[in-house]
Amino acid sequence: MKFNNKKLSFGIAYVGLIVFCSLIGIQFNIGNFFSNNFSDTTYAIPLYLFLYLSCTFPVDILVGKKLNKAKDNSVKRIIVYNSGFLLFFLSCSYFLLIVFHKKSYLLMILYSILIQIVILMIQGLLPRLIFHTSRSKYKANEIVELKNSPDYLTMNIVRFFFKTQIIVPKIWLQEKRENYLFHIERFIFSIRERTNLSVILTSVAVNSLLSCVLFNIIINHYQEPIEQLINFSFLSNLTSFVCILILPKLSQQGILNTDTKMKALNKSYFEENLGIFEQHQDKNITREKVIESIFYPVPSVNSRINNTKKFAVGLPNISRITIFLFSSNLSIIFKGVHGNAGKPENWIFPPSE
């Protein structure tokens, strides 16, 4: 296998670092060290989470500098986003401590579902807080144009309570109106057919089930609250890593199924838009099959153009959404996986393609 893609290589190294540190943390029971030396959770948990996120902070800066355009590279933004996740993880931690104390599987399920919903609500709220935006309607769908988004950001669907929005990054505002609207049609189709909703519900269900499995391991192997929480975060990283290896196939099949419908709508615009998208991403028109099947939730341009198959089961982008929502369990794999390394906006808005 030839790893000739810089973004993929950095992503593998980033995820490898998190997995390695998590394995070391479990093997040497770092949670027990914190529990013995900082019995008060008021100090122990913030200190641990600060160190936990700090482990990847230098890598965020390095990878951002290596991969991003100069205008999209910002140490300040990396600091702000990491600080935001520190506050979010602190909030989650104190809820998790209550769940561990009660040793209730029902509470674990409720926590997992509710926090994942909160994550989706935050995601739906943030575009207007982070970016300069303008709003419009197209075929009864709310469109939010992001006037100052980085070039690596993709079109996406976000939700805030019962409101569904399509966010459009700056790069698509610079293209021909016909290409812009054709790409929006893809997301309208996903909303109308409830494909995106199916992916989200599946991700929430899978994550809730996995949370209960991890919860069972934690309460049966560790006794102290701080020790339980820290080892829970390590196990969550390892679980996310397994998801990276298992879920891309489902994601690819879902994307190819949607591609079939878009080709039928207008094959010429479909191929043009793949070229536009790829200019701002990997710049890989084709990939080695083994590499693509393992590491990429989105097929290469050639694979998408040449595909003629219809798949019985496909959930577009399920791998990225599942791993993103697993941050509810303090996992940080989402920061480095699938092209997210060094791209802080992608941590909150996982690439849709």
Kindly report the average pLDDT of the chain as a whole number: 90
Is residue 353, in this structure, part of any structural domain at all?
no
CA distance 127 to 166: 11
How many separate domains does the chain show? 1
The answer to whether the beta carbons of residues 343 and 281 sit under 8 Å apart is no
20 contact partners, CB below 8 Å, separation of at least 6: none
The answer to whether position 291 is within a domain reads yes
Say which DSSP state 134 is in.
Answer: E
In the chain, the percentage of residues whose pLDDT exceeds 70 is 94
Q: Are 39 and 247 in contact (CB under 8 A)?
A: no
Q: Is residue 110 part of a domain?
A: yes
**Position 1 pLDDT exceeds 50:** no
Tens-place pLDDT, residues 244-278: 999 989 999 999 999 999 999 999 999 898 888 77
pLDDT for position 339: 75
Rounded distance between C-alpha atoms, residue 286 and residue 306, angstroms: 11
Per-residue pLDDT, 288: 67
User: What's the confidence (pLDDT) of residue 70?
Assistant: 86
- The model's pTM is 0.93
95 inside domain: yes
Q: Judge whether 261 and 66 are in contact, CB under 8 Å.
A: no
Instruction: Residue 56: give the domain boundaries.
Output: 6-348
Residue 52 has pLDDT above 80, yes or no: yes
For the beta sheet containing 133-138, the strands, ordered from the edge strand earlier in sequence to the opposite edge, are 133-138, 141-146, 163-168, 156-160
Instruction: Name which of 321, 326, 345, 330 is nearest 89 in CA terms.
Output: 330
Q: How confident is the model at residue 299 (pLDDT cuts 50, 70, 90)?
A: confident
Residue 29 lies in a domain: yes
Question: Is the alpha carbon torsion for 68, 73, 75, 79 positive or negative?
Answer: negative
Residue 11 has pLDDT above 90, yes or no: no
Query: Can you give the pLDDT at residue 341?
Result: 86
In a domain, 207, yes or no: yes
Give the integer Cα–Cα distance in Å for 99 and 76: 35
